[in-house]
């Protein structure tokens, strides 16, 4: 027990930091800390600093009571645009391909091409989102500062999630992103549904955070570090299958697996993956549509990047050449799961040990197998459940909540494929990650567009029920057509943009192979057909059903229609010419593993 | 950029309707008739463009008697995904393209009674035309898939908005069936793509795949070498991968090129690896693709969407659905299933033939039982398309026939002829049903009668078209059916006898329908006063259909001249493959037999 406590204590400091603490004197320590922070870390951290500055400025403006001259919207817009501008590489986006991975802030965060891409994505979303909030009028004069502060604060948290390299920063990032979201869910004051959503979200979030923190402490306690690459190195030095064989050491593996599972709970909560999705429909229904857009796009993107970080961080050691690994490993993984055993930690680890005996050489393959089985099964269940549950919804936001669950499941499939491929072919693993990035980018336009339309229509007709959209094509044809395009793209039909990421994910799954991932592939394919039914129902209501007599004229102003067009036209443009996005994503992942 | 380049001409042909649809969407509000006239003008222009290729000696033409792909072109579309904008024509696709543009003109002419949301109707109609033309022209598997899906949404709306009382149910049923089929197709595409490898093809095969073009007097090998050394990105990757000598580190050069996949299916063992349950990869790919296409054809038991869709769809959409959309299934089978997965096709030939015969028999019996006029015609489509599946499946080039492919050729040619003939006759039948439905607003076969007296001209045309559907000699339905049944005789007596007797059933339901609708003393059903003689517009649609039904019936060479060389070439290739395959198998087998005998002794 004493040993355990000491180890837990160590993890409170980052690994490298701890080593320095015991070996060098204070002066050199401060010097190296300073140079690390000032010379390498902070320059790479400029966009985030710009966001921090904006937040502080917005709060100050309220203190000195001059929001009349400096409206919060302008501050937020300028701040996010500056941050986006700082995040874009000055040499053009092609510079991403040359970025090498670099640890910042003494290993707490990592800066690589993946993060560069995701950061641009998050900040671009922030800009679009700030504009949307102003157009729908949710951030009025009274709430403006609060609202934008929370949005930017959550964005900052998501940036940290996406670049986390340490179990503590993972926790910190998730909490920084979640806490503002709890408040945002209840930002519409005086609405009971809204407050209920907020409270539910906060309670679920707190529970998940507690479990995750416990899992982190278990992991760090056993391994002796919370720094992801160090954990991976430690894990690879353990002989997991031998440990499983001996009775007393197998309990250590069980603790590791339990820690991993508990960490997974926190991630699954952010991803709203089944079975941790219960908050999602309630929160989406209760919160305003704008917040729904924020949660479904930015929050999901950050959580998926984090999932990749954890999977890759724990399942892959950068320095080692990985060429000679077991080829048949996913096959063996799946045999276990298709034999009908539940995905318990024990079964999964057993699977890993079988594989490792055959493939022999890679000590981390049990870790990867554990991860792949877990993610693949959760992804399949989330995708299928989300699509089936969406079928019965009458509220459009609730329907989109389930659609988000299904899409998160689909994106998780890419993560499973990426980690499965990691063991034998890093180039194809990069393709799988690039599939995920394309998915995120396209999903931004689809969901932001959809929620923007829902928000604008809510302002016009005070309803978010699907049946109230009947015959919308007669009164506002442009919006109805764009909504149709978005919904069809969400199904994944070519030639709309939503098809290409799905194709890429299916390709990666096929490339990864093995019965488990082929099953995932088939499930993904069938889910496309299932999802058609409920998306098409909305299309039917909008385009085919007659207009109800009770509804007055619905007409959106010029600016909302223009905004909808700007956000949703890429759904069509990238559908016909997806090369641009695909190229960015490929650049972002080109040198991820070396 | 001039019209004599295939890339410009064919793109214009495919995308002119789509561009026109965009223009229609942006136009200010016009009268309904103006929208219809514009759309009709566009479809006529597309028809003229497709006819323009008959003009020999022009910048771009389609030459009769040439078996190979003509007017090929390829442009990179999505290089990151390896997808090309790759199109071309041969004798299999060209007649279908002309049929498509022809029927679109007639269907637009038949759209005049439509008065609801005319602008939206015209836009969707034109988008549908782009999708259909694109399917028949694309030679990149992915492009094919994209066009295949492009048709779905317009079709859904066209049935769902302008259809009959149960239109929404029918529309979503159609959509779901087709989407399920295309998801299976997508999985098959991925399977084939990830097992393809361009570097395994030799110079001649690269030329056949349309990747290397032989210029003028240069030899195949020289052009191939010139291509490998060229600046083309594909060529550079090809050279890079081919240069890798270590087999362990060698990567594959995947492709979506349908022609290249055909070459790989017939000349390499790339698709012969074992996949699941002891069946080869191509066996599974064939099954997945076949299900996808057979849903569209449609064959029993995957046909149930068709009667619903036809009954609910408005007349012009029924014409297109029966005349063109069903042909896409058949086209997919002949263009993709068989040439890419010959081993599976050989293995499953009897299964495919059985599916065809069952559809023929079931469709005919179901048609006999209908009281709804349109539903009867819909089931007759199921029955007639069974001939197409049967004709494709008759793999009679086997060892005991000495790999003589003549009857197989006859079957495939007959099936292709049946596709064109049925395109004309079924579109005509649906139009004829539509004409009286517009007048009396019901389709109950038992409440008609005596139309000959009230509408003599119409009834004359209608009976003519129905006879074409029946397969009366001298009309377009006859030749295809006879070819198919004759070819089956050499393959399986049982199937031949069953399929020949279907002709009697067909005659039964068509003659009975004619008797109930057009003959008899007088019309007793509702709205009898509305039975006015045929209008000039309706006549203008009926006459071309009737004329082409007669022309294709008495002058089959007019069509076969363009079609037969390509069909024969493909069948010859597959017959040669069969021989090579059987020789390989028999070379492997006797050894095993001997072992067995020795063990038993």
* pLDDT value at residue A339: 35
The CA distance from B468 to B476, in Å, is: 6
Q: Place B1 in a pLDDT band, splitting at 50, 70 and 90.
A: low
Q: Which residues of B touch A589 (CB under 8 A)?
A: none
Whether the CB-CB separation of B205 and B255 falls below 8 Å is answered with no
Backbone angles phi, psi at A199, to 5 degrees: -65, -45
Give residue B590's pLDDT band: very low, low, confident or very high (50, 70, 90): low
Chain A: closest CA distance from residue B237 (Å):
16
Q: What is the ipTM of this complex?
A: 0.88
Maximum pairwise Cα distance, chain A? 80
B30-72 pLDDT, tens digit each:
888 899 999 999 999 999 988 888 876 666 778 888 888 888 8
Mean local confidence (pLDDT), A291-309: 92
CB distance A495–B81 less than 8 Å?
Answer: no
Does A494 contact B146 at a Cβ distance shorter than 8 Å? yes
Helix or strand (DSSP H, E) at B73: strand B70-78
pLDDT digits 0-9 by tens, A137-160: 887 767 788 899 999 999 999 999
Rounded to a whole number, what is the distance in Å from the CA of B273 to chain A's nearest CA?
14
Mean pLDDT score, A340-357 = 36
- Residues from A contacting B (CB-CB < 8 Å) are 473, 488, 493-495, 499-500, 503-504, 506-507, 510-511, 521-522, 525-526, 528-529, 532-533, 536, 540, 543-544, 577-579, 582-583, 586
What stretches of B297-348 show up as alpha helix (H) in DSSP? Answer: 305-312, 315-320, 326-332, 338-340, 342-347
What Å distances lie between residue A479 and A140, A290, B154, CA to CA? 24, 17, 18
Considering just the CA atoms, what is the radius of gyration of chain B in Å?
25
pLDDT at residue A592 is higher than 60: yes
pLDDT tens profile B538-564: 999 999 999 999 999 999 888 888 899
Give the whole-number percent of chain A exceeding pLDDT 90: 42
Query: Which of B77, B80, B168 should be substituted to probe chain A, the one whose Cβ sees the most A Cβ atoms within 10 Å?
Result: B80
Q: What is the pLDDT of residue A594?
A: 60
Worst-scoring range by mean pLDDT, A239-253, A518-532, B185-199, B560-574?
A239-253
Q: What is the pLDDT of residue A462?
A: 85
CA pair distance B461, B520, nearest whole angstrom: 17
Of A473, A488, A582, the CB nearest to B80: A582
- The span from the CA of B558 to the CA of A189, in Å, is 77
DSSP character string of B174-237: HHHHHHHHHHHHHHHHHHHHHH--GGGS-HHHHHHTTSS---TT--HHHHHHHHHTSS-HHHHH
Q: Do A510 and B194 touch (CB under 8 A)?
A: yes
Peptide bond preceding A275: is omega within 30 degrees of 0, i.e. cis? yes
The CA distance from B279 to the nearest CA of chain A, in Å, is 15
What is the chain B residue with the closest CA to A537? B172
DSSP conformation class of A424: T
Over the Cα atoms of chain A, what is R_g? 24
Q: How many CB atoms lie within 10 A of CB A392?
A: 10
Instruction: Kindly report the nearest CA distance between residue B330 and chain A, in angstroms.
Output: 22
Query: Please, what is the angle between helix B406-440 and helix B476-491, to 10°?
Result: 140
Whether the predicted pLDDT of A389 surpasses 60? yes
Residue A155: per-residue pLDDT: 94
Among residues B432, B430, B468, which one has the least CA distance to residue B548?
Answer: B468
* Contact at CB, B190 and A506, closer than 8 angstroms: yes
Which of B81, B153, B161 has its CB closest to that of A582? Answer: B81
CB contact under 8 A, B183 and A503: no
pLDDT, one tens digit per residue, over A2-18 is: 344 444 444 444 444 55
A564 pLDDT exceeds 90?
A: yes
Interface contact A507-B149, CB threshold 8 A: no
From residue B601, give the alpha-carbon distance in Å to each of A588, A592, B394, B591, B596: 68, 64, 41, 16, 9
Nearest-CB residue to B145 (from A494, A525, A540): A494
End-to-end Cα distance, chain B: 77
Containing A84, the helix (H) or strand (E) segment is helix A72-87
Mean pLDDT of B314-331: 92
Residues 6+ apart with CB under 8 A from A515: A331, A334, A335, A338
How far is CA A444 from each of CA A116, A448, A526, B505, rounded to the nearest angstrom?
A: 17, 6, 24, 57
Statement: residue B190 has pLDDT above 70: yes
Task: Assess whether the previous peptide bond of B256 is cis (omega < 30° from 0).
Answer: no
Distance of residue B157 Cα from the nearest chain A Cα, in angstroms: 8
pLDDT tier, B527 (very low <50, low <70, confident <90, very high otherwise): confident
| Shortest alpha-carbon distance between residue B176 and chain A (Å) | 7
**Banded pLDDT at B324 (limits 50, 70, 90):** very high
Distance (Å, rounded) from C-alpha B601 to C-alpha B598? 5
Mean pLDDT of A380-405: 93
Residue B229 is encoded by which pair of tokens?
């050394």
Given a contact cutoff of 8 angstroms between Cβ atoms, the answer to whether A538 and A469 are in contact is yes
Whole-number Å distance between alpha carbons of A219 and B160: 57
Contact B141, B189 (CB under 8 A): yes
d(CA B318, CA B107): 9
Q: Mean pLDDT over residues A117-131, rounded?
A: 93
CB A174 within 8 A of CB A209: yes
**pLDDT (tens digit, 9 = 90+) per residue, A73-100?**
888 999 999 999 998 887 777 777 777 7
Nearest chain A residue to B178, by CA: A529
Q: Write out pLDDT tens, residues B250-307.
A: 777 888 889 989 888 888 888 877 777 778 888 999 999 999 999 998 888 899 999 9
């Amino acid at each position: 027990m004493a040993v355990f406590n000491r180890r837990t204590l160590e993890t409170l400091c980052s690994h490298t930091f701890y080593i320095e603490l015991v070996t060098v004197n204070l002066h050199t320590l401060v010097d190296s800390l300073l140079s690390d922070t000032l010379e390498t870390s902070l320059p790479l951290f400029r966009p985030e600093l710009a966001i921090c500055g904006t937040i502080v400025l917005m709060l100050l403006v309220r203190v000195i009571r001059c929001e009349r001259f400096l409206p919060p919207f302008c501050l937020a817009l300028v701040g996010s645009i500056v941050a986006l501008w700082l995040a874009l590489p000055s040499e053009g986006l092609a510079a991403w391909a040359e970025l090498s991975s670099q640890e910042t802030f003494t290993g707490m965060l990592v800066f690589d091409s993946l993060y560069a891409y995701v950061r641009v994505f998050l900040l671009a979303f922030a800009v679009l989102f700030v504009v949307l909030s102003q157009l729908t009028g949710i951030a009025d004069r009274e709430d403006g500062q609060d609202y934008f502060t929370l949005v930017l604060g959550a964005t900052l948290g998501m940036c940290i999630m996406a670049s986390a390299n340490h179990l503590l920063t993972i926790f910190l990032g998730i909490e920084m992103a979640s806490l503002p979201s709890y408040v945002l869910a209840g930002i519409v004051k005086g609405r009971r549904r809204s407050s209920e959503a907020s409270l539910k979200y906060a309670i679920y979030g707190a529970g998940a955070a507690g479990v995750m923190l416990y899992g982190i402490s278990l992991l760090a306690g056993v391994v002796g570090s919370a720094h992801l690459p160090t954990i991976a190195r430690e894990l690879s030095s353990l002989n997991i299958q031998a440990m499983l064989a001996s009775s007393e050491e197998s309990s250590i593996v069980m603790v590791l697996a339990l820690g991993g599972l508990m960490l997974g709970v926190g991630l699954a909560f952010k991803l709203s993956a089944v079975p941790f999705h219960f908050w999602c429909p309630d929160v989406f229904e209760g919160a305003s549509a704008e917040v729904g857009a924020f949660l479904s796009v930015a929050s999901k993107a950050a959580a998926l990047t984090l999932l990749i970080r954890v999977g890759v961080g724990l399942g892959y050691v950068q320095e080692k050449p990985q060429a000679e690994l077991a080829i048949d490993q996913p096959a063996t993984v799946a045999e276990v799961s298709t034999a009908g055993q539940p995905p318990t930690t024990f079964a999964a680890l057993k699977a890993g040990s079988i594989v490792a005996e055959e493939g022999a050489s890679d000590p981390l393959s049990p870790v990867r197998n554990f991860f792949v089985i877990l993610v693949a099964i959760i992804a399949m269940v989330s995708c299928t459940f989300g699509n089936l549950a969406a079928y019965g919804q009458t509220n459009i936001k609730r329907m989109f909540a389930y659609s988000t669950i299904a899409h998160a499941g689909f994106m998780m499939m890419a993560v499973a494929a990426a980690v499965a491929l990691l063991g034998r072919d890093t180039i194809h693993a990069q393709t799988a990650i690039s599939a995920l990035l394309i998915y995120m980018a396209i999903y931004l336009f689809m969901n932001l567009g959809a929620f923007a339309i829902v928000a604008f229509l809510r302002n016009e007709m005070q309803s978010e029920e699907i049946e109230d959209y009947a015959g919308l094509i007669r009164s506002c044809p442009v919006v109805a057509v764009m909504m149709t395009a978005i919904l069809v793209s969400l199904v994944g039909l070519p030639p709309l943009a939503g098809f290409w990421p799905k194709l890429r994910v299916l390709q990666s799954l096929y490339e990864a192979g093995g019965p488990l991932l082929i099953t995932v592939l088939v499930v993904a394919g069938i889910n496309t057909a299932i999802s058609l039914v409920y998306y098409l129902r909305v299309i039917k209501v909008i385009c085919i059903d007659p207009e109800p007599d009770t509804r007055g004229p619905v007409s959106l102003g010029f600016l909302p229609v223009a905004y909808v067009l700007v956000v949703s036209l890429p759904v069509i443009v990238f559908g016909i010419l997806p090369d641009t996005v695909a190229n960015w994503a490929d650049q972002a992942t080109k040198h991820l593993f070396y | 950029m001039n019209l004599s380049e295939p890339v410009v001409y064919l793109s214009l042909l495919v995308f002119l309707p789509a561009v026109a649809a965009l223009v229609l969407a942006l136009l200010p509000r016009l009268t309904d008739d103006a929208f219809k006239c514009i759309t009709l003008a566009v479809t006529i222009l597309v028809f003229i463009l497709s006819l323009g290729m008959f003009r020999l000696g022009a910048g771009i033409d389609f030459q009769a008697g040439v078996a190979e792909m003509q007017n090929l072109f390829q442009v990179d579309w999505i290089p990151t995904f390896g997808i090309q904008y790759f199109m071309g024509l041969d004798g299999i696709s060209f007649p279908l393209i002309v049929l498509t543009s022809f029927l679109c003109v007639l269907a637009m002419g038949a759209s005049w009674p439509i008065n609801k949301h005319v602008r939206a109707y015209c836009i969707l109609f034109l988008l549908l035309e782009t999708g259909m033309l694109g399917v028949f022209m694309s030679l990149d598997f992915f492009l094919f898939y994209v066009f295949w899906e492009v048709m779905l949404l317009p079709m859904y709306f066209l049935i769902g908005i302008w259809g009959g009382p149960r239109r929404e149910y029918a529309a979503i049923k159609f959509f779901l069936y087709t989407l399920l089929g295309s998801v299976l197709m997508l999985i098959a595409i991925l399977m084939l793509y990830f097992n393809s490898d361009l570097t395994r093809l030799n110079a001649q095969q690269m030329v056949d795949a349309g990747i290397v073009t032989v210029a003028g007097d240069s030899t195949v090998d020289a052009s191939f070498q010139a291509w490998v050394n060229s600046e083309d990105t594909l060529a550079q990757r090809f050279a890079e991968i081919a240069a890798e000598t270590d087999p362990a580190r060698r990567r594959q050069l995947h492709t979506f090129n349908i022609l290249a996949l055909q070459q790989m299916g017939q000349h390499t063992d790339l698709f012969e690896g074992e996949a699941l349950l002891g069946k080869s990869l191509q066996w599974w790919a064939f099954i997945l693709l076949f299900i996808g296409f057979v849903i569209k054809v449609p064959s029993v038991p995957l046909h149930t969407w068709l009667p619903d869709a036809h009954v609910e769809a408005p007349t012009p959409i029924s014409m297109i659905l029966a005349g063109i959309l069903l042909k896409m299934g058949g086209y997919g089978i002949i263009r993709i299933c068989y040439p890419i997965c010959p081993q599976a096709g050989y293995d499953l030939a009897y299964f495919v033939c059985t599916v065809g015969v069952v559809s023929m028999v079931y469709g005919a019996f179901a048609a006999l039982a209908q009281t709804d006029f349109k539903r009867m015609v819909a089931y007759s489509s199921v029955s007639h398309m069974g001939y197409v599946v049967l004709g494709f499946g008759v793999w009679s080039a086997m060892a005991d026939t000495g790999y003589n492919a003549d009857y197989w050729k006859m079957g495939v040619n007959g099936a292709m002829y049946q596709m064109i003939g049925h395109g004309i006759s079924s579109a005509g039948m649906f139009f004829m049903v539509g004409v009286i439905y517009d007048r009396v607003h019901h389709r109950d076969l038992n409440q008609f009668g005596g139309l000959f007296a009230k509408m003599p001209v119409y009834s004359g045309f209608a009976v003519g078209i129905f006879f074409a559907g029946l397969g009366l000699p001298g009309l377009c339905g006859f030749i295809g059916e006879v070819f198919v049944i004759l070819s089956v005789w050499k393959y399986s007596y049982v199937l031949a006898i069953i399929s020949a007797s279907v002709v009697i059933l067909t005659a039964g339901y068509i003659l009975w329908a004619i008797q109930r609708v057009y003959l008899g003393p007088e019309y007793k059903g509702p709205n009898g006063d509305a039975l006015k003689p045929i209008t000039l517009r309706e006549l203008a649609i009926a006459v071309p259909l009737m004329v082409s039904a007669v022309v294709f019936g008495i002058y089959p060479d007019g069509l076969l001249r363009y079609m037969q060389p390509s069909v024969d070439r493909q069948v010859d290739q597959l017959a040669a493959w069969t021989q090579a395959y059987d020789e390989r198998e028999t070379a492997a087998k006797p050894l095993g037999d001997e072992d067995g005998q020795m063990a038993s002794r």
